[in-house]
Amino acid sequence: MHFETVNPVNGAILARHEAMDRAQVERILARCRDAQQMWAARTVAERASCMQAAAAVMLADRQRHARQMSLEMGKLLPQALAEIEKCALVCRYYAENAARFLAPQTIKTEAHTSAVYFNPLGVVLAVMPWNYPWWQVFRFAAPGLMAGNGALLKHAPSVFGCALMIEEVFRNAGFPEGLFASLLLDVPETGAVIRDPRVAAVTITASVAAGRAVAAEAGKALKKCVLELGGSDPFIVLEDADIDRAVEVGVNARYQNTGQSCIAAKRFILVGAIQQEFERKFIERVQRLRMGDPFAEGMDLGPMSRRELRDGLHQHVQRSVDAGARLLTGGVLPEGPGAYYPPTVLGDVREGMAAWSEELFGPVATLITVKDEDEAIAVANDTEFGLSAAVWTRDLKRGERIASEKIQSGACFVNAMSKSDPRMPFGGIKSSGYGRELSEFGIREFVNIHAVWVEG
């Protein structure tokens, strides 16, 4: 069996990767486990030195790494370069802060001494998606490796080239051979790896269906699991918002990475008083977006990652229009071999439509009109997802109150677009998953929080 990597610009085959057989997987598992035991014995400072080197190695070859990303999944080259730089940032962040995050904590009790230690769990398996093929990996790998764990990557087949490049980065940075390794497998074979006793825990970023399947396997094996799944993020614009700024940021929040992001703004919830102005300015701004070759200068969107995903998105749009939504711009399949889809806006989206309740993973924005703040909050929370959200208002106390008390999500941004930042925890609730990545919370997901009590 082999996997084909296809260029979404023109449908050309970039590479064929042979699927690993059981003997190859066995060797990788054994080597990773042995390497992890040696790695765990190193000091945090020694691990940090390797992690700083990984950042340097990555940046020194950023053009090649970014080009591979653009070829495999259609990401605009400037966005691919920015992704590499963000990966270097998270490496440096954990290299500089892991010692503080993992330092033993003394607890005052009647014992002579009592403390909590943060020890590595072992080998962590990561099942990762194609949309941010480097960042998603480093988001788990940087804290996981700094905590003393080993890392196995089961990446999406469409970006296996990126997976092998990431493995190369860690090898060239001086990490122990086999500590980070890629598994070129299909989904059915991943279950056997999850069940393997040498794998201590699992993390996955994927669809809800994939997350449920992985969580079920991990649950049967009683293994820790972190899930970062889908999102249908609301972007609430209240009557006192700065409309021009909300439009500019909102367009970027929806169409960055060609709209292929779990935390992209997807449902624009507009209080009626500003609905017409926002809609008019939003459409004007969207119509100025330029779609084309990821390597061409001045592009705002590239192709979607795969043609079948593009076609599925178009079906979502058609279903919503058939149910009464207004097609305000876009929504027409372009001719040609690529996986392109024009930036699209749907208006008059109402409950019961596909665009109301389903995650539209691509360059489609949905506009929903509500009468006031209370209805905006109710609509924002009327989804199975709870990953991130945004609220726009000039009243910062009002925005913070809504964000902190009313919105059901793992994160909420006031007058800003949703994003992931190494300094802040990242993750969701409801069908968006559970557990956290990044910050001090992320590095402690895959450690044994070990209590030690000593009496004299």
| Residue 109 DSSP SS3 | coil
Q: Long-range contacts for 218-225 (Cβ within 8 Å, ≥24 apart)?
A: 218/194, 220/195, 221/194, 221/195, 223/194, 223/199, 224/121, 224/200, 224/445, 224/446, 225/201, 225/435
61 and 80 in contact (C-beta within 8 Å)?
no
DSSP string, 295-351: TSTT-SB---S-HHHHHHHHHHHHHHHHTT-EEEE---PPSSSS-----EEEES--T
Q: Select from 452, 435, 445 the least CA-distant residue to 121.
A: 445
Please measure the distance between the N-terminal and C-terminal CA atoms of the chain and give it in whole angstroms: 62
Active site residues: 228, 262
Q: Are strands 447-454 and 113-120 parallel, antiparallel or unpaired?
A: antiparallel
- How many CB atoms are closer than 10 A to CB 240? 15
